[in-house]
Amino acid sequence: MSTISSALSTILDPISVSGSNSSSSSSDGSSSSSSGSSSSGSSGEFTGASGYSQDLQNVISRAVAIAELPITVLTNQENALQNQSSALSSIDNDLSALQTAVQSVDQAVGGSYQAEVSNTDVVSASVGEGAVAGTYSIEVDSVGAYASSLSAVNWTGTSSDAGGTYSLVIGSDSYNIQSTDGSASSVAAAINAEYGDQVQATVVNVGSDASPNLRVSLQATSLGAQILDIQDASGAGLQDQGPDGGLASYIVDGSGETVTSASRTATIATGLTIQLQSGDPGNPVTVTVSGTDSSLSDAVASFALAYNKVVTDLQAQRGQSAGALQGQSILSQITQVVDNVATYSSQSGIAGLAGLGLKLGENGQLTFNAQTLDTAYSGNPAAVASFLGSASGGGWLESATNLLSNLEDPIQGLVKIEETSLQGRTASVANQITTKQDQVTTMKATLTSQMAAADALISSLEQQDSFLTQMMQAQQIDSQAIING
C-alpha cells in the first residue's frame, strides 16, 4: 500500500490529497476495489476505476476552475460593456428626440407669423425666418418691364453662318454662341444653356402649320431697358427690338424715396418679402405682419418634455442605484451639454428660458408655463424672436442646435463615437473569451487523458497489492495449520 500512496503523491504533487481511501481496503485488510479500466467519456468527464479516481477528478476540476478565472473576469467586463452600450443607446434615442424638439421650436418661430395684404392685386407678401410683427405701407408706381426682341424674318440661317456661329448681344455686352446646325431651335437651346441666367430664348411660329414662319424670341430675365439681339457671322443684327424694358419702382412707408429694382421681388424687412403684381401710383397698399404663439407654445411644451426625459436618463446613472454609465466621461459630457441648453442667456430683452415660461427646478427638470410665454410674446414679440433666433441665425436655437450636434452628429458626435467605441471593445472582449474557452477545453481534454492513464496505473497496482495480500494471508493460514499439526 505504501507503493500506491507514493505513486499517487507523485502524480498529484503539488496538490495534496487525502491519505485515506475508504474503498481501498476493508477492516480485515482485504481489497474492495473493483478491477476495471479508466476512461474519459464523450462529455469530457473523467471516470476512473481506481480507489483514487475521485481525487484525480478533483485535480481536473480544480485545474479547470483556475484556468476559467480569466474567463470569468472577461465575462464580467463584457457584461459591463454591454450594459453601458444599452444605457447609452437609450440616452442617445432621447437626445435625438430632444434634437427634434429643438427643430420643432425653430419651425414654430418661422411659422408663427403671417402677412395680410390690403390689395393683393397690387402686392403679395410672404414671411420667413426673422420676421417680426409690424405694419408696412407699399406704393407701387410701376412693376417695370422686361426687354424683348423677335427675329425680323423667318429663321432659315444663311451661308454666312453655316457653322451655326452667332453673337448674342445683351445691352453693351456681346457673347459668342455655337449652335449645332444654325436652326432656330438649336440657336435658342445654345442661348439658354450658356446665358439662361440673363435671357430666355424661345422659338415661336408666327405662320401656320402648313407654312411655318419660325422666329427666335428673346426676353431678359431682369427688368430694365437693354438691347437684345442676335448677330450672324457678318455682324448683321437679326432681331427687331420689342417694347422698352423698365425698372420696377415703389415707395416704402411713405418715405418719399422711390426705390427702383430690376426684380419684382423685394425684401423690405427681415423675413418679409413682397412681390409686385401691378402698378397703382398714389394708392399705398398695407402689409400687416402678425404672429400667434399657439404653435410656438406647443413646440416649447414638447421641448420641455423631451428635455426632462434626457435629464431623467442621466439622473438614473448616478446615486445609490447608479446605472452602468456611472463614472464614465461620456456621462459628464452629455450632462454639461444638456445643462448649457437650459441655462442659455441673452441680452435681447429676455434673459433666459425662464422669460419664455421654462423654469429650471432644483431637480434639474423644466416646468413650462404657457401664460408666461403668451405675455412675453404679446408684449414684445421682437424680443422673443431675437432671443430664440434660428438654427443658423443666432440666438438660443443656434446655440442649442450646435450643442446637440456636438453629441448627435453621425460622424463626429461624442455619443456616436462612444457607441462605436463600446461596440468595438465588446467585440474584442468576446473574441478573448472565445480564445480562452478554446484553451480551457484543450487543457481539460489533455489533463483528463493524463489522469485516465494515471488511474489505470493505480488500478493495476491496487490489483497487484490485493493479489499479494491474499497470497500472504493464505500462506499464513497454511503455516498456522502446520504448526497446529
Q: In the predicted model, what is the mean pLDDT of residues 375-391?
A: 85
Is residue 452 within 8 A of residue 50, CB to CB? The reply is no
Structure confidence by residue, pLDDT tens digits, 108-152: 886 667 889 999 999 999 988 767 778 999 999 999 999 999 999
Q: Is the pLDDT assigned to residue 37 strictly greater than 60?
A: no
Q: What angle do CA 378, 267, 251 make, to 5 degrees?
A: 100
pLDDT of residue 295: 84
Nearest residue to 139 (alpha-carbon basis) of 268, 321, 308 = 268
Nearest residue to 228 (alpha-carbon basis) of 149, 145, 144 = 149
Nearest residue to 265 (alpha-carbon basis) of 128, 106, 111 = 128
pLDDT of residue 481: 81
Who wins on pLDDT, 332 or 163?
Answer: 332
Residue 126 host element (H or E): strand 123-127
Residue 395: pLDDT band by 50, 70, 90 thresholds?
A: very high
pTM recorded for the entire structure = 0.56
Structure confidence by residue, pLDDT tens digits, 7-25: 445 444 443 333 334 333 3
**Alpha-carbon distance values, 464 to 11, 331, 454, 460 (Å):** 19, 71, 16, 6
Is residue 143 within 8 A of residue 248, CB to CB? The reply is yes
pLDDT of residue 465: 82
pLDDT of residue 197: 95
Residue length, the chain?
485
Who wins on pLDDT, 57 or 163?
Answer: 57
3-state class (DSSP) for residue 14 = coil
pLDDT of residue 8: 47
